[in-house]
């Protein structure tokens, strides 16, 4: 969950590195640091706090050189202090290293080296790795770049855990060494200059020709070129990819926050999730990326959906969708649970893992565990070259464009849209009639314009949000397809406004939750006019009877009873029940956003969080 950038070329490294690390700030932002090499001397600047603090420190005390590395941190080991900020150095002070990941056996390695007289300045696992590499290199009388790469190899074979690293050494100007296992690392190919980064958004302003490193690969990078090898010392082929993303994709597009821009993109991103995947002729969805024939899909007897956070909530909607449209037993499980649970899965179980970033450690591990047991495992990802996308047996890309705001928004509605397509496809090769399939396709094609109507509700939602922005506790309640939306709405609110929000099935109120109801605790009911509308009404009555403020999401023209009971009512356009989660979730995205803004919270970079959780 940290961000790394490296540069080697003819230009001054510092401005390129600082601009690049800013574009990765969503990956972690509790401290930042930079190291450059000039005339045989490595200069380092580190600051606690946002990257602006580092930029100010460098402005006060500039550093030069055309080789450098930079890092923004989300603390895993060690407090948020300047000493624990990266880059870290080895015992000699000639090597500097930045790292994304967790070295699990760092304590034993540290103790071993302390026994040899090493002194550590920080509490981090990263500094241990820097010393381990320097220790291996300094044992050799021969001091060549090949020996340095071998020292990196030797150190990496000694560590357990995950890493994405960039290393420079004062004896080797114009050289960066990169290596990865479990944390993403991409090499950017410029003209007479090369880049290394945790993800392409840091370097897309300079090049769109990139090489994605695979696990256990090491890159030796100079201004003249690069070579790839493996930790085991074998050669490795490099595949140059042209990045689809453009620099403006990573900007705010005139919006005050990435999150607001990404909320407003959803009519387009939902349309993009369906583009080229609807067949009127066959009244079904076409998903070639599943790499499965209809016969293989028909043989599937059980489906497991897995993910973390928002992706898990989308998976929960998928469970209802697939059981409703295809009648296949389906269950969803948190990836962090699935990876350790000995879930009985027979050979005809199909697993889907959902992940916007495609790098979430728990989801990646759940996928690898499922594949290890021989189950076909498909990914629903946004990041095309992500580890999950590359290691899974196939899947469906979200095509939502980069999602920079830490709070997931368009990724949720894209994932749910794709799950509708999957459920449609599975249903149509089983018992779903062509008439029913055709109707769903028409409803899907009308969906972007319904989303546009919901996006126009922002001013109404903003007013409701401001009225309730100072609540300390908030309950979100829904049923069936909108129960996962209750969980998602609560997650949105808590992660950017820090309000203690929780989501529940509406009927669970009387099983304990209603004890929390009081005049200061608003209850948000997601109550579109669906099959259980009257049941939701009863739950609302229960809350009203106890004096709890009620905010409801209802359906235009079909919510007279709701209007009598609620303090605030937001009406979405009438929509098929299976598609309401896409519309109701957008309302709750706006709701959370405007409360966070009202409270002065940092919407795009909320405290303690990072966009991509690449550590356990
Ligand atoms: C949601 O708003 C959070 N950003 C977080 O729960 C996120 O959904 C989760 O970490 C999964 O991320 P992924 O989709 O990239 O795997």
List the CATH code of the domain at 457-603.
Answer: 3.40.50.10490
Task: Let me know: does 320 contact 480? Beta carbons within 8 Å.
Answer: yes
Contact 533, 540 (CB under 8 A): no
CATH architecture of 3-250: 4-Layer Sandwich (3.60)
Task: Given the residues 2, 70, 308, 601, select the one marked as catalytic.
Answer: 2
Q: Which of 308, 317, 395, 406 to mutate to test the pocket of ligand 1 (most atoms within 8 A of CB)?
A: 308
Question: Residue 182 in 3-state DSSP?
Answer: strand
| Cβ–Cβ < 8 Å for 181, 151 | no
In this prediction, residue 613 carries a pLDDT of 77
Are 448 and 264 within 8 A, CB to CB?
no
Sorted by sequence, the CB contacts under 8 Å of residue 569 that are 6+ apart come out as: 551, 552, 553, 554, 559, 562, 563
- What is residue 250's predicted lDDT score, i.e. its pLDDT? 77
Instruction: Name the nearest CA neighbour of 599 among 471, 428, 415, 416.
Output: 471
Instruction: Establish whether 373 is a catalytic residue.
Output: no
Q: SS3 string of 520-535? A: CCCEEEECCCCCCHHH
Query: Nearest-CA neighbor of 543 among 515, 570, 501?
Result: 515
Active site residue 2: yes
For 251-455, the fitting CATH number among 2.60.40.10, 3.40.50.300, 2.40.50.140, 3.40.50.10490 is 3.40.50.10490
Residue 73 is predicted with a pLDDT of 83
Per-residue confidence (pLDDT) for residue 1, from 0 to 100: 66
- Give the DSSP H/E element, type plus range, for residue 350: strand 349-355
Q: Is the CB of 603 under 6 A from ligand 1?
A: no
309 lines ligand 1 (CB under 6 A): yes
Within 8 A by CB and 6+ apart from 576, the residues are 440, 443
Q: Where in the chain is the domain with CATH 3.40.50.10490?
A: 251-455, 457-603
- Pairing, β 284-285 against β 302-307: unpaired
pLDDT of residue 612: 77
Cα separation values, 214 from 153, 162, 199, 360, Å? 15, 12, 13, 15
Residue 183's pLDDT is 87
Phi and psi at 174, nearest 5°, equal 75, 20
> How far apart are the CA of 308 and the centre of ligand 1, in A?
6
Cβ-Cβ contacts under 8 Å for 268 (sequence gap 6 or more):
448
Q: Which residues of 74-93 are buried (b: 16+ CB within 10 A; e: fewer)?
A: bbbbbeeeebbbbbbbbbee
| Cα of 312 from ligand 1 centre, angstroms | 8
Q: Is the shortest distance between the CB of 84 and ligand 1 below 6 Å?
A: no
All residue ranges of the chain with pLDDT < 70 are 1, 27-28
Q: Tens of pLDDT along 119-162? A: 999 999 999 999 999 999 999 999 999 999 999 999 999 999 89
Q: Give the DSSP H or E segment for 260.
A: helix 258-264
Degrees, nearest 5: CA angle 110-112-100: 30
CA distance 529 to 581: 12
* Parts of the chain belonging to CATH 3.60.20.10: 3-250
CA of 243 to the centre of ligand 1 (A): 23
């Amino acid at each position: 969950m940290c961000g790394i950038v490296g540069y080697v070329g003819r230009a001054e490294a510092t401005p390129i590195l600082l601009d690049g690390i800013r574009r990765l700030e969503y990956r972690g932002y509790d401290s930042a640091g930079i190291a450059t090499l000039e005339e045989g001397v490595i200069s380092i600047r580190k600051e606690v706090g946002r990257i602006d603090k580092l930029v100010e420190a460098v402005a006060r005390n500039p550093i030069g050189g055309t080789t450098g590395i930079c890092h923004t941190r989300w603390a895993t080991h060690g407090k948020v202090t300047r000493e624990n900020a990266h880059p870290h150095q080895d015992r000699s002070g000639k090597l500097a290293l930045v790292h994304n990941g967790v070295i699990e056996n760092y304590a034993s390695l540290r103790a071993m080296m302390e026994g040899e007289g090493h002194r550590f300045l920080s509490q981090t696992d990263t500094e241990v790795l820097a010393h381990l590499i320097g220790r291996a290199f300094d044992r050799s009388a021969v001091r060549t770049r090949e020996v340095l790469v071998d020292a990196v190899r030797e150190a990496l074979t000694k560590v357990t855990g995950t890493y994405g690293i960039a290393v420079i050494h004062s004896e080797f100007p114009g050289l960066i060494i990169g290596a990865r296992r479990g944390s993403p690392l991409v090499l950017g190919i410029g003209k007479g200059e090369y880049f290394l980064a945790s993800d392409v958004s840091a370097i897309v302003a300079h090049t769109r020709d990139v090489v994605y490193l695979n696990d256990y690969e090491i890159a030796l990078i100079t201004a003249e070129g690069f070579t790839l090898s493996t930790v085991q010392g074998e050669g490795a082929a490099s595949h140059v990819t042209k990045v689809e993303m453009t620099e403006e994709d990573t900007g705010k597009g005139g919006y005050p926050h990435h999150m607001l821009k990404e909320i407003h993109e959803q009519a387009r991103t939902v349309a993009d999730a369906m583009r080229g995947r609807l067949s009127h002729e066959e009244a079904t969805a076409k998903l070639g990326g599943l790499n499965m024939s209809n016969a293989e899909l028909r043989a599937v007897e059980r489906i497991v959906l897995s993910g973390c956070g928002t992706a898990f909530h989308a998976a929960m909607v998928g469970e209802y969708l697939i059981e409703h449209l295809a009648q296949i037993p389906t269950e969803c499980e948190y990836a962090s649970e699935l990876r350790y649970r000995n879930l009985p899965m027979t050979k005809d179980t199909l697993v889907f893992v959902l992940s916007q970033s495609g790098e979430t450690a728990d989801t990646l591990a759940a996928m690898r565990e499922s594949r290890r047991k021989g189950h076909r495992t498909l990914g629903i990802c946004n990041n095309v070259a992500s580890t999950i996308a590359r290691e899974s047996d196939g899947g469906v890309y979200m095509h939502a464009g980069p999602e920079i705001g830490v709070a997931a928004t368009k990724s949720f509605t894209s994932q749910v849209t794709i799950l509708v397509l999957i459920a449609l496809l599975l249903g149509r090769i089983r018992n779903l009639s062509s008439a029913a399939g055709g109707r769903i396709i028409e409803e899907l094609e009308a969906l972007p314009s319904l989303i546009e109507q919901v996006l126009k509700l922002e001013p109404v939602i903003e007013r409701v949000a401001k009225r309730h922005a100072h609540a300390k506790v908030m309950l979100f309640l829904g049923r069936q397809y909108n129960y996962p939306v209750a969980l998602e709405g609560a997650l949105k609110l808590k992660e950017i406004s820090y309000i203690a929000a929780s989501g529940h099935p509406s009927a669970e109120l009387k099983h304990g939750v209603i004890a929390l109801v009081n005049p200061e605790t608003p209850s948000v009911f997601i109550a579109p006019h669906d099959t259980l509308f009257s049941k939701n009404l009863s739950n609302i009555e229960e809350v009203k009877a106890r004096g709890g403020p009620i905010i409801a999401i209802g359906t235009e023209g079909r919510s007279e009873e709701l209007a009598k009971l609620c303090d605030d009512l937001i009406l979405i356009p009438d929509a098929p029940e299976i598609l309401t989660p896409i519309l109701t979730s957008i309302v709750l995205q706006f709701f959370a956003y405007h409360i966070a803004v009202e409270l002065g919270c940092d919407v795009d970079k909320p405290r303690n969080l990072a966009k991509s959780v690449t550590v356990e």
